[in-house]
Amino acid sequence: MAGKPRVGVLALQGDVREHLAVLTALGADARPVRRREELAAVQGLVLPGGESSVIDKLARAFGLFDPIRAAIADGMPMYGTCAGLILLADRIDGAIAGQQTFGGLDARVARNVFGSQTASFETDLDVPALGDPPVHAVFIRAPAVVEWGPDAEPLASLPDGRVVAIEQGALLGTAFHPESTGETRFHQRFLARVHARSGADAPAF
């Protein structure tokens, strides 16, 4: 349908279906992206949770690494959750040998700062940019932002000060998984950027 934003979810590994479901429910034309031509057909891209080093390797194997970096440089809106946040960061703590990121977000992100899968937890976060109510956040082998540049803006942090949501220009990242809890406001924020870049009116969610 005319007016629907065409957005993709990088579908190499991770929780792809959950993001597609949220974006579709919000009225987007959401589709998996595995090839260069599929990336070229969308106006925004979600980088899902999963294993950041695996997604990195697969993106290079599928010929998507450089096109995604070019899309970021060109201003395409992107939203990364958990592993996706790591992939957007310019710098990583705890990277495996040879691991690369798409970059674009002037931040240093530490991998697995909260421990293993068994150390997963849930909490409520105040996110002033989203208003009330608080965001119920699920952290699964999650990263955290430990350093950021002047153009990046933290959106949410834990009581100990570790930043777990951040944005910079067209890039948005969360260390947690809104797609698994019914929380849609981060996806709405992403889609609003897609609409703004296309020159269309922002949707009324």
Whether residue 77 is contained in a domain is answered as yes
Q: Which CATH number characterizes residue 188's domain?
A: 3.40.50.880
Q: Name the active-site residue from 18, 19, 167, 179.
A: 179
134 upstream amide cis, omega within 30 of 0:
no
Name the pLDDT band for 114 (thresholds 50, 70, 90).
Answer: confident
pLDDT tens profile 146-160: 999 999 999 999 988
Q: Where are the alpha helices (DSSP H) in the chain?
A: 16-25, 36-40, 52-61, 65-73, 83-88, 185-198
Q: Name the active-site residue from 177, 183, 187, 195.
A: 177
- Kindly report the pTM of this predicted structure: 0.93
51 is catalytic: no
Q: Is 70 exceeded by the pLDDT of residue 204?
A: no
pLDDT at 1: 41
Whether residue 44 is contained in a domain is answered as yes
Domain of residue 164, residue span: 6-198
136 is catalytic: no
153 is catalytic: no
Q: Name the active-site residue from 18, 19, 82, 195.
A: 82
Whether residue 168 is contained in a domain is answered as yes
